[in-house]
Amino acid sequence: MSIENLKTYDPFAEADDDSGQTKQTQEYIHIRIQQRNGRKTLTTVQGIPSKFDHKKILKVVKKEFACNGTIISDTESKGMGEVIQLQGDQRLKIKEFLTNKDAGLGLDEKTIKVHGF
Amino acid sequence: MSSEEPSAQRRTSRKSVAFTDEKLVVDADGTVTIMASEDDQHKDTAMSHTSPTTAPVTESADADGLDLSLLKKKKKKAKKEEDADAADDDAAAAADGEEGAIDLSMKKKKKKKAVKEEDDFAKKLEALKLEGKEGDEVATAAAAAPVEDEQSGDMDKGTGIWQHDETKGITYDPLLSRFFALLAQKNPDHASSGTRSYKIPPPQCLREGNKKTIFANIAEICKRMKRTDEHVTSYLFAELGTSGSVDGARRLVIKGRFQQKQIENVLRTYIIEYVTCKTCRSPNTELSKGENRLYFITCNSCGSRRSVQAIKTGFSAQVGKRRKMQQG
């Protein structure tokens, strides 16, 4: 007779797996807003997974939201990865775009954090 | 216009703001209403099927409170219904009293009155519907009782699937409803505790010049939330994507134009993230720096402890003159 419970795999190995997973889910996409002069604002999107082509995303987004934008790469943003910067308050729209399965990236809503007022 | 003015006055003269967790209220209402409906059903069926002589027995079983036998609840249930009504009234009253107050829910503050009226109306409608449903349920239960459907049976009387010698497996849903019924029955104060509200004074925002906002009562708010000024300040700056300073009277000067509503929204998210206990939703918590540079929130009412994320500023683009200077 053997104890079934103890036959499962090493708990430490499992912990490692877990931490890997949580690390993935911990990496949020941050959508922020910044005030410029007057009523003008900037929207920054930080942490879009690198499996996506940021340039293409920007191209589509610019057309869809009818706004200009730019990609700020590593050197300027100091370890923040590539940041997409859009003109105007595009927070809701970009969130919709990121989560939309048909016309967007189809990301999980839980990985997106919208900051700002 | 004349109708607008008094409301505006009231708004400014308001002293404190209620943070009611809308979800919670709804939750409580939900459970309460469910119970109420069950209640009626049981009562009616019990009356129709059991003789009145069994009633005292069930009551006594109820009184000792530990009896898990399936014969019970009668008196308490009736009381529960009253409680439910009371809770509903409370909620309505709260909504009435704190019109224009800040809810912890993300509901917009605009059109408060209209929304409230709608809410009330919806509530009433729901109640009506429920009553109708109860009636139906009673009727169907009475009809179905002799047939003894697969997963039917009276939990209180121990008939059908709830019989002691019943060998049939009970599906998850009835078990779950039974659990909640028992839980609510044994702890009558749980349902009512959900409607507690948390109040902080509304942030006072002044404009300094054209480009700066003064957040006047930050010290008071921080004191109420039991958090340090620095923590709240850094959160505000991180979320608003600006910077600022503290002036002589301990007021916070924020760069950029912000309205009271916007500050309020940020404070609300702050409270959700760093003040309320996720387990019991009580705002009576303490933020402390634990080991490993992590911040922990310890709840004073339920004793739970959770770690919170450190405040990160994240990416912020250079805006304005500095940018030109950098490049030039």
pLDDT tens, position by position, for chain B (328 residues)? 444 444 444 444 444 444 444 433 344 444 444 444 444 444 444 444 444 444 444 444 444 444 444 444 444 444 545 555 555 555 444 444 444 444 444 444 444 444 455 566 566 656 666 555 554 444 444 444 443 455 666 676 667 777 777 777 778 888 888 888 888 777 766 554 544 567 788 888 999 888 899 999 888 899 888 889 989 999 999 888 888 999 888 899 998 888 899 899 999 899 888 888 888 878 888 888 877 888 888 888 888 888 888 888 777 777 666 555 655 4
Q: Flag whether residue A34 sits within 8 Å of chain B, measured between CB atoms.
A: yes
Residues B252-282: b if buried by 16+ CB within 10 A, e if exposed: bebbbbbebbbbbbbbbbbbeebbbbeeebb
CA distance, residue B302 to nearest chain A CA (Å): 27
A29: pLDDT strictly greater than 80: yes
Report which of B135, B133, B105 is spatially closest to residue B119, judged by C-alpha positions: B105
Of A35, A37, A80, nearest to B315 by CB-CB distance is A80
Residues of A in contact with B256 (CB under 8 A): 35
Reported as a single tens digit per residue, the pLDDT across A32-64 is: 998 888 888 999 998 888 888 999 999 999 999
The CB density around residue A89, as the number of other CB atoms within 10 Å, is 19
Between chains, do B315 and A36 touch, taking CB under 8 Å as contact?
no
The reported pLDDT for the residue numbered A51 is: 87
pTM for the model stands at: 0.53
Q: Residue A117 — very low, low, confident or very high, per pLDDT cuts 50/70/90?
A: confident
ipTM of the complex: 0.74
A16: pLDDT strictly greater than 70: no
The reported pLDDT for the residue numbered A62 is: 93
Q: What string of H, E and C letters represents the secondary structure of B211-267? A: CEEEECCHHHHHHHHCCCHHHHHHHHHHHHCCCEEECCCCCEEEECCCCHHHHHHHH
A66: pLDDT strictly greater than 90: yes
From CA A89, how far away is CA B24, in angstroms rounded? 31
- How far is CA A5 from each of CA A14, B220, B309, rounded to the nearest angstrom? 15, 55, 35
- How far is CA B235 from each of CA B57, B200, B216, B266, B282, rounded to the nearest angstrom? 59, 17, 16, 9, 21
Q: Flag whether residue A32 sits within 8 Å of chain B, measured between CB atoms.
A: yes
The reported pLDDT for the residue numbered A77 is: 53
From CA B20, how far away is CA B114, in angstroms rounded? 18
- Interstrand relation of A29-35 and A112-114 (parallel, antiparallel or unpaired): parallel
Give me the mean pLDDT over the A100-106 stretch: 85
Between chains, do B314 and A80 touch, taking CB under 8 Å as contact?
yes
Q: Which of A11-15, A46-50, A84-88, B238-242 is predicted least confidently?
A: A11-15
